[in-house]
Amino acid sequence: MSDASLSSRASDFIEPSDTSVATPKVLWAELYPAEFIVRQQQCPLVYMPLGLCEPHGQISAFGLDTFKAEYLCTRVARQAGGIVAPSMAYHVHESGPSAKFLEDMVGENNPYMSSVPPYMFYHFFLYQLRSFYNAGFQSALILSGHGGAHIHDLRKISRMFTERFGMNVWYGTDFDLVEGTYAGDHAGKYEISMLMFIRPDLVDPTRKPLEDMAGSGGRLAAGHDADQASRLYGEQISQACEAALTGIVAQLIGQSNVNSGVELLSYGAIEALWADIVRSAEDGSEMWTALQPRDGQVPVSAHSRWKPNEYVRMA
């Protein structure tokens, strides 16, 4: 997802009642240096929306995950302060437990995904955190609209970065924000409702699975309760997510931190941490959940296109 595409949709993230009021710029890509410094001094927190282009049924656009994260980060930044970094719309899928999910939900159809291997994403994720540290942020809030086994791994990497370098890092998903109140899903009532509220132009319930069209992909991972989705339900979920995220921002801002951006992290410092992560995966001292199936999970079929990625290495 380019900065330009996110910037061009800024007006989509404003409620109609807000249009008469000047909307503060919160996107890193849109800020002038002086504006950046002022916002950062007022609230030294950076948001990074994470998502993925993957199938969410025939009725929904591929970028649903990214749109959720962008919307929530932008809304909260305007109210609570902070700066929204450029979105990352490439994410982990295909490997470990996800291989079986894709076999069951997509089959041999092309999923048209923007996925990358865990070892590439995790390594690059460290450098994204480095960029936030070196820019002088004291806290980073990483919100993903894409769930999966990798969540455990990225929380661990976030914790390891904080322990090593001192910058507070929170990693979670929109599902985490409303756990116990709303049940998350994949392209079902929950997710389709959110997109109906956030980007109604990107949901078309009249698009049914085209089973008779070669290469259409059938359901393409659509949830079986997607037809129960509604804009009202999506608004309720979004408001609950927004309230929870605002509370997390308050906690991060209240945590003490010594990072001033003066002591810049070198490539070598990041590579040293990455070496520790790879070593822990190779010697089994740490469990990395996106590298292999879950215990007791049914194996991917030998003939499946997803079989080669059922087991992967960290490097």
Cα of first residue to Cα of last residue in the chain, in angstroms, is 26
- Residue-wise pLDDT tens digits, 83-124: 999 999 999 999 999 999 999 999 999 999 999 999 999 999
Single pTM value for the model: 0.89
The mean predicted confidence, pLDDT, of the chain is 90
Angle (nearest 5°) at CA 137 between 132 and 139: 95
Mind listing the domains of the chain with CATH numbers?
3-309 (3.40.50.10310)
Using the 8-state DSSP alphabet, how is residue 178 labeled? T
- Residue-wise pLDDT tens digits, 249-266: 999 998 866 555 568 999
Please tell me the predicted confidence (pLDDT) of residue 232.
98
Greatest alpha-carbon pair distance for the chain in Å reads 61
And the tokens for 75? 């809304």
Beta-bridge partner residues of 241: none
Tell me the helix, strand and coil percentages in the chain, rounded to 5. Answer: 45, 10, 45
